[in-house]
């Protein structure tokens, strides 16, 4: 499995967690919320520390896409920080509203990344490089 496959798999896993949040009872909402915060934090760190620097180095023309991705991560991190402090209120409308905002932000990020950045990366990197 290469880097693009791993990141895409993360995207699908988080989408599934959002679905569990939307359809779950209070306990499931709390559990899925904790998982969403954890998984998105790990995913953002991987992209920022490993993936984006490699893309910048290999594809200078993608600088704008990478910068935009980092900006989107910042927005997501701010929402995650707010949610993390409210996990015990996962049953409230205020929490659900923040989670909905997070889901929209993540969805937009995923769409741009998978639709624009990933195809450029797959074209510019060898299969071996993507596996490293």
Residue/partner pairs of 95-100 with CB below 8 Å, 24 or more apart: 95/33, 99/18, 99/21, 99/33, 99/36
- Return the axis-axis angle of helices 26-46 and 3-23, rounded to nearest 10°: 160
Inside any domain, residue 131: no
Q: What total number of domains does the chain contain?
A: 1
Inside any domain, residue 129: no
pLDDT digits (tens, 9 = 90+) for 23-79: 989 999 999 999 999 999 999 999 999 999 999 999 989 889 999 999 999 999 999
Inside any domain, residue 130: no
- Return the axis-axis angle of helices 93-112 and 3-23, rounded to nearest 10°: 160
Instruction: State the residue range of the domain holding 109.
Output: 3-124
Structure tokens at 88: 């015990």
Say if residues 90 and 30 touch (Cβ distance below 8 Å): yes
Inside any domain, residue 27: yes
Say if residues 121 and 4 touch (Cβ distance below 8 Å): yes
Residues 6+ apart with CB under 8 A from 96: none
Q: Whole-model pTM?
A: 0.91
Say if residues 91 and 29 touch (Cβ distance below 8 Å): yes
pLDDT of res. 80: 94
Inside any domain, residue 21: yes
Inside any domain, residue 34: yes
Inside any domain, residue 104: yes
Inside any domain, residue 12: yes
pLDDT digits (tens, 9 = 90+) for 91-131: 899 999 999 999 999 999 999 999 999 999 999 887 777 67
pLDDT digits (tens, 9 = 90+) for 63-76: 899 999 999 999 99
What is the C-alpha to C-alpha distance for residues 19 and 75, in angstroms, rounded to an integer? 21
């Amino acid at each position: 499995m290469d880097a693009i496959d791993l990141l895409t798999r993360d995207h699908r896993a988080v989408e599934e967690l959002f679905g569990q949040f939307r359809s779950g009872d209070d306990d499931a909402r709390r559990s899925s919320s904790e998982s969403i915060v954890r998984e998105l934090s790990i995913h953002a760190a991987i992209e920022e520390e490993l993936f984006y620097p490699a893309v910048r180095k290999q594809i200078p023309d993608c600088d704008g896409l990478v910068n935009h991705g980092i900006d989107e991560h910042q927005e997501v991190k701010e929402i995650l920080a707010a949610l993390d402090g409210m996990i015990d209120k996962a049953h409230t409308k205020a929490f659900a509203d923040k989670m909905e905002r997070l889901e929209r932000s993540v969805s937009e990020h995923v769409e741009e990344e998978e639709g624009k950045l990933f195809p450029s990366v797959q074209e510019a990197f060898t299969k071996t490089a993507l596996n490293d």
